C-alpha cells in the first residue's frame, strides 16, 4: 500500500461494505457474485469455536515475555481481523487505512482461510469486483462511506471513473489508477485448498480465474516497458515498498509537484524523520498526477522500473494459475512454461552474480540500481530458480547485509550496511511481515528447513509481542506504524496453522509439481 500517504486524524466509520456490484468486468470474465456469510456458520472469531486442540502447532509460541499458547495467539490475531472486517473486505488498519488495498487483501485472505474460507473467498471477490476493463486490479478500492477528507490521495484525486474511462475503469466504484504486486492467484489457490468442497460448490475458482487471467494479461502485455519480458512498475507505490532507497535514483529525474498543490496528511501521523522528504513526496504526487492526466495509459511516464519482487510474485501466481486451470479441467502446461520463461528472464535481466542477489533495473537508463533491498531476495520463492542462485540468495540473506539468523530478528527491508539504512523509516530498514512470510516459504521450498523454522518462530514471536504491528525495528522487534495491522495478523495465523509442507489437500498433478502447488522443482 502507499505507506507514504496517510490519513488525517479523523477516525472513520466503516460499517458499510465496499460497493462493487455493477462494476464492468474484465474481458471474458465471468460475473463475480458474492454471498453473505451463511447465518448457520459459527462466528469465526468466537473463542469457543477454536479450542486449543484445533491449532495445528506443537507447544506454545515462544515469546520474549511469559509464554502464551498458540491458541491464544490465534484468538488475538483473529480478533484483529474481526475488528478490521467491513462486511465485504478487510481494511489494513481501522484508524490509518480505511479502504481496501490490493496486495493487503491477498495476504489477508491467506490468513482468513484458517478462520473462514467463505470470508477469504469474499475478500478476493470484493477486490476483483473493482477490476478495470483492461485487466488491471487497482491498488485501492475506496469505501464510499468514508469521507473524502479521511485519506489522501482520495477518490477525487484519482478520478478513476472519468480519467480511467478509456482503460475501462468501473463506473460505480471509485478506485486508484495504479496497481500493486500480483499475489492474488497464489492467494486464490491457497484459499481453495483450505476448503475445496466449499470452493467447488460456490464455483469460486471458475469465477475468479477469468479475472486473474485478465490481470496477468494486462501486466504481461501492457507493462513490458523494457522489452525483455518482465513487468515494469510506473510508480513506487505499485511495488508496495514505498520510500525504498531503490527508487531514489529513478525518481531523481522526476520534477516534483509544487508543495502548495497537495497537503501531506502523512505528517499528521508520523515524525518527519520517519517519513519521505518533501522533495520525494512531491515526486510521488507528480508521477500519479501525470499518469492520471494521461488517462492511465502505460509507457509514457518518466519512471519505469523492473522490480525483482513484483516479477517473482507474478511468476509464483502464474504457477498458481496453472494449478487453478488444472482444477477446472484445463491444461496448465502453458502457464508453467510461461512461468519458467519469466524466471529465465528474471535471472537474465536482474541477477547480479557478483553481489549474490537480484537488483531493480531502471528501464529508462537500462542500468541496474545498485541498492540492496529485500525485494532482491524475494525470488527465492520461485521453485524453478537455478540451484546455485537459490544457494547464493540464502548466503546473502544470512550475511552482513540482512543478518538472517544472526544480527536481526526479522529480515530488514533494506541493506543493514547501506548509507540510507534507518531501522524506523518506511521501507528504508524496518522489517515487514509480508516479506518475511514470503522468505519463509522460499527457504522451505529450497530445502532450508532449519532456517525456515527459525524465521517462522521469530515472525510469530515478534507479531505477538509487537501487538501485530505494521512493521518493526529489525534488531529489537520494536513496534512501528499501526498496531493491529491486518496482514501481520493474517500471516501470523498462516504461519501458526500451515506447516508449509505437503499435506492431504495438495493433490499432485504429475511429475515435477511442487507440493505447495506453486510450481515445479526442476532446477537447471
Catalytic residues: 242, 470
**Three-state SS letters, 10-52:** CCCCCCCCCCCCCCCCCCCCCCCCCCCCCCCCCCCCCHHHCCH
Distance CA 476, CA 481 (A): 15
Exposure letters 106-124 (e unless 16+ CB within 10 A, then b)? bbbbbbbbbbbbbbbbbbb
Phi, psi of 205 (to 5 degrees): -65, -35
Helices 433-445, 387-398: axis angle to 10 degrees equals 140
Distance CA 32, CA 121 (A): 11
Question: CA geometry: angle at 416 spanning 413 and 418, to 5°?
Answer: 100
Contacts of 36 (CB under 8 A, 6+ apart): none
Q: How far is CA 389 from CA 386, 396, 461, in A?
A: 5, 10, 30
For residues 429 and 474, the answer to whether their CB atoms sit within 8 Å is yes
Helices 184-194, 204-222: axis angle to 10 degrees equals 160
How many other CB atoms are there within 10 angstroms of residue 389's CB atom?
Answer: 23
For residues 245 and 371, the answer to whether their CB atoms sit within 8 Å is yes
Q: Can you say how many angstroms the Cα of residue 227 is from the centroid of all Cα atoms in its chain?
A: 25
Exposure letters 284-293 (e unless 16+ CB within 10 A, then b)? bbbbbbbbbe
Distance CA 254, CA 55 (A): 50
Amino acid at each position: 500500500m502507499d505507506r507514504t500517504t496517510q490519513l488525517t486524524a479523523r477516525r472513520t466509520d466503516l460499517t458499510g461494505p465496499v460497493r462493487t456490484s455493477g462494476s464492468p468486468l474484465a474481458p471474458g470474465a465471468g460475473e463475480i457474485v458474492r454471498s453473505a456469510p451463511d447465518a448457520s456458520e459459527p462466528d469465526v472469531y468466537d473463542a469457543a469455536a477454536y479450542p486449543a486442540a484445533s491449532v495445528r502447532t506443537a507447544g506454545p509460541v515462544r515469546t520474549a515475555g511469559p509464554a502464551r499458547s498458540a491458541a491464544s495467539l490465534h484468538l488475538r490475531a483473529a480478533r484483529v481481523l474481526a475488528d478490521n472486517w467491513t462486511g465485504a473486505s478487510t481494511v489494513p488498519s481501522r484508524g490509518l487505512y480505511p479502504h481496501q488495498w490490493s496486495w493487503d487483501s491477498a495476504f489477508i485472505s491467506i490468513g482468513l482461510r484458517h478462520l473462514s474460507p467463505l470470508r477469504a473467498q469474499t475478500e478476493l471477490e470484493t477486490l476483483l469486483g473493482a477490476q478495470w476493463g483492461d485487466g488491471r486490479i487497482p491498488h485501492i478500492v475506496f469505501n464510499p462511506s468514508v469521507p473524502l477528507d479521511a485519506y489522501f490521495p482520495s477518490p477525487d484525486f484519482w478520478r478513476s471513473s472519468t480519467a480511467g474511462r478509456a482503460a475501462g475503469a468501473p463506473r460505480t466504484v471509485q478506485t486508484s489508477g495504479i496497481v500493486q504486486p500480483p499475489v492474488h492467484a497464489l492467494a486464490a489457490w491457497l484459499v481453495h485448498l483450505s476448503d475445496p468442497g466449499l470452493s467447488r460448490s460456490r464455483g469460486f475458482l471458475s469465477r475468479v480465474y477469468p479475472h486473474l487471467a485478465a490481470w496477468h494479461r494486462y501486466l504481461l502485455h501492457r507493462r513490458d516497458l523494457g522489452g525483455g519480458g518482465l513487468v515494469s512498475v510506473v510508480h513506487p507505490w505499485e511495488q508496495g515498498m514505498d520510500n525504498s532507497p531503490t527508487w531514489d535514483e529513478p525518481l531523481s529525474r522526476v520534477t516534483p509537484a509544487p508543495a502548495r498543490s497537495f497537503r501531506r496528511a502523512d505528517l499528521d501521523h508520523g515524525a518527519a524523520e520517519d517519513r519521505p522528504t518533501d522533495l520525494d513526496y512531491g515526486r510521488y504526487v507528480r508521477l500519479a498526477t501525470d499518469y492520471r492526466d494521461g488517462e492511465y495509459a502505460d509507457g509514457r511516464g518518466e519512471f519505469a522500473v523492473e522490480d525483482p519482487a513484483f516479477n517473482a510474485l507474478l511468476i509464483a501466481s502464474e504457477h498458481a494459475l496453472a494449478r487453478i486451470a488444472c482444477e477446472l479441467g484445463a491444461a496448465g502446461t502453458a502457464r508453467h512454461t510461461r512461468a519458467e520463461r519469466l524466471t529465465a528472464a528474471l535471472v537474465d535481466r536482474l541477477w547480479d552474480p557478483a553481489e549474490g542477489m537480484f537488483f531493480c533495473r531502471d528501464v529508462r537508463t537500462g542500468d541496474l540500481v545498485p541498492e540492496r533491498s529485500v525485494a532482491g531476495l524475494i525470488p527465492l520463492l520461485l521453485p524453478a530458480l537455478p540451484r546455485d542462485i537459490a544457494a547464493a540468495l540464502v548466503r546473502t540473506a544470512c550475511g552482513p547485509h540482512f543478518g538472517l539468523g544472526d544480527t536481526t530478528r526479522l529480515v530488514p527491508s533494506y541493506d543493514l550496511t547501506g548509507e540510507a539504512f534507518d531501522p524506523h523509516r518506511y521501507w528504508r530498514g524496518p522489517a515487514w511481515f509480508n516479506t518475511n512470510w514470503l522468505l519463509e516459504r522460499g527457504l522451505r521450498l529450497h530445502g532450508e528447513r532449519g532456517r525456515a523454522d527459525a524465521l517462522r518462530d521469530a515472525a510469530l514471536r515478534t507479531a505477538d509481542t509487537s501487538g501485530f504491528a505494521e512493521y518493526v525495528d529489525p534488531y529489537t522487534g520494536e513496534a512501528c506504524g499501526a498496531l493491529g495491522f491486518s496482514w501481520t495478523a493474517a500471516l501470523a495465523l498462516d504461519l501458526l496453522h500451515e506447516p508449509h509442507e505437503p499435506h492431504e489437500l495438495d493433490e499432485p498433478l504429475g511429475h515435477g509439481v511442487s507440493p505447495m502447488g506453486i510450481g515445479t522443482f526442476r532446477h537447471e
